[in-house]
Amino acid sequence: MKIVQTIAGRFKENKLISVILLMLPVLLLFWLVQRREPHNAPVQKPTDRIPVTVAQVSKAAVRDSFSTVGTVEAFREADIYSESAGQVRKVSAEPGSHKKAGDALFTVDDELAASRERKADAHYRQTQRDVERYKTLYAEGAVPLSAFEAVQLQNEEAQAEFIAASRKFSDTKVKAPFAGTVTSRFVEQGELLHEGLKVAHMADMTKVKIIIFVPEREIVKFVPGTILSVTSDTYPGQRFSGRVSAVSDKSGRDHTYRVEVILQNPKKTVFRSGMFARVVTTGEGQRQAVLVPRIALVAGIRKPEVFVVRDGKAYLQPFSAGMELQKELEVLDGLNVGESVVTSGQTELLNGSAVVVIGQKKGQTTP
């Protein structure tokens, strides 16, 4: 018992020895666990190679043409507003119906307006008779000039009141401002209108406008009156003839100009507002040009860049673009004929990414 007390006393005196003795079991347990579990050395994986398809930059004969996609709009369209207040007595504006200019679309309660017009007309006719009578009396010297002039002023006031009353009566019929088709109607018979309420919408689709935006390097080809070709995916294989009607003098922030192309709307192949159409200009003669597929573009035409594959890696390459074709883009500088550019898989790539070519067009060689 004394020996144990002596040893315990020495541990209390030497705290370092106590800590070491307490840690020994923990270290021993850790050593045993490490010997039981096999130590696997990390295996270094080879660098992943991203699969891509490629196409070659080529050279071919092209015409100095330009094509761009625009949006079809109605030649004329307008919202129709009521200029009179009252209850709708008659509706003649069914959506899809064709109206001539001046045809009545809606008839508003006109009883009070008709009464005011008749009263103003009677007053106006009475003042006209007074003018004729005072004119004769003034010529005979029976009335002074001031009396004759007063009657003339009364007649002019009555005429103004009659014109205003006639206009109010006319406004009880909401009329078509131009020949066209009613596209939508917003009120029904029996509703109460107030002045300025939108009641319908009309569009003139006998002709259509194709709105396109042309870059500044191509704008010289778009002179008002120039005849252009128009195609549409809705009517494949068919070509239509359009005419440049207006060219904006001010460009947008992207250095493109707004151009309107007028097209007679065919009856069998009808263009509708909101459709897409492609406008094409074709130059004379041919020339050799370096071309790259449009699908190889990384971001867009404003800042053209492609991934070029060299020695199993893809490198981001900017270039200067020229003429735009439907499936290809002219290269002015930055790419050489024969270089392989990535046509699919660009979204997974970074500059210098390792790639493996899994598909290429016939006649191409693996880079």
Q: Determine the residue type at 113.
A: A
Q: Report helix angle 2-13 to 15-36, nearest 10.
A: 90
Give the other-Cβ count within 10 Å of 199's Cβ: 21
Tell me what pLDDT residue 43 has: 44
Q: Determine the residue type at 364.
A: Q
- SS3 at position 35: helix
Question: Can you tell me the mean pLDDT for 224-237?
Answer: 91
User: Angle 131-137-142 (CA atoms, 0-180°, nearest 5)?
Assistant: 140
The CA-atom distances, in angstroms, between 217 and each of 32, 60, 220, 318, 321 are 79, 21, 7, 19, 11
Residue 76, both tokens: 């004329």
Q: Determine the residue type at 25.
A: P
Q: Which residue has the higher pLDDT, 283 or 114?
A: 114
Contacts of 358 (CB under 8 A, 6+ apart): 51, 52, 53
Cβ atoms of 266 and 240 closer than 8 Å: yes
3-state SS record for 111-178: HHHHHHHHHHHHHHHHHHHHHHHHHHHHHCCCCCHHHHHHHHHHHHHHHHHHHHHHHHHHCCEEECCC
The CA-atom distances, in angstroms, between 291 and each of 283, 308, 340 are 18, 14, 12
Q: What percent of the chain is predicted at pLDDT more than 90?
A: 63
Which CATH superfamily groups domain 111-171? Helix hairpin bin (1.10.287.470)
Which CATH class for the 52-62+286-360 domain?
mainly beta
What's the fold here for domain 66-75+203-281? Elongation Factor Tu (Ef-tu); domain 3 (2.40.30)
Question: Can you tell me the mean pLDDT for 114-138?
Answer: 94
Question: Can you tell me the mean pLDDT for 183-189?
Answer: 93
Longest dimension (CA), the chain: 163
Each residue's pLDDT tens digit, 259-278: 999 999 988 888 999 999 99
User: Could you tell me the residue ranges of all domains in the chain?
Assistant: 2-36, 52-62+286-360, 66-75+203-281, 111-171
Measure the CA–CA gap between 27 and 33, rounded to whole angstroms: 10
Tell me what pLDDT residue 363 has: 39
pTM (whole model) above 0.85: no
pLDDT beyond 50 at 364: no
Measure the CA–CA gap between 271 and 269, rounded to whole angstroms: 7
